């Protein structure tokens, strides 16, 4: 039961809450801005990788802010890949749990 809680339920709950918040932020008068949703939903999962690529040094204020914005976009794109891998790992864990109970 502890394995199900910490490897399936809690990660899915965190992902669902975060994606729901991102969805309502990205809704505008014309519909959903899917590119913004894509970047925002992946941002917390790629935040560890984003500052490893471009470090804002020897720039002015505007250049540093521009590099940080580019880092945030890159972090969001990387985060979407990490998010997809996490969801695949959760699905794999669900299948393993079902097969484990089926063998008993």
Tens of pLDDT, residue by residue over 25-62, are 999 989 999 999 999 999 888 887 776 667 777 888 89
**What pLDDT band is residue 22 in, cutting at 50, 70 and 90?**
very high
Task: Give the integer Cα–Cα distance in Å for 88 and 99.
Answer: 17
Domain extent at residue 70: 2-103
Q: Name the more confident of 37 and 1.
A: 37
Residues in CB range of 84: below 8 A, 6 or more apart: none
Mean pLDDT of 85-99: 95
Residue 33: how many other CB atoms lie within 10 Å: 14
Q: pTM for this structure?
A: 0.81
The tally of domains found in the chain comes to: 1
Q: What is the mean pLDDT of residues 71-99?
A: 93
């Amino acid at each position: 039961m502890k394995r199900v809680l910490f490897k399936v339920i809690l990660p899915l709950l965190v992902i669902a809450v975060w994606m729901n918040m991102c969805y309502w932020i990205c809704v505008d008068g014309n519909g959903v801005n899917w590119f913004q949703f894509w970047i925002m939903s992946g941002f917390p999962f790629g935040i560890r990788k984003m500052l490893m690529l471009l470090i804002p040094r020897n720039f002015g204020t505007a250049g540093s802010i521009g590099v940080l914005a580019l880092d945030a976009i890159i972090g969001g794109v990387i985060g979407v890949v990490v998010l997809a891998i996490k969801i695949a790992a959760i699905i794999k864990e669900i299948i393993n749990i079902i097969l484990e109970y089926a063998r008993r």
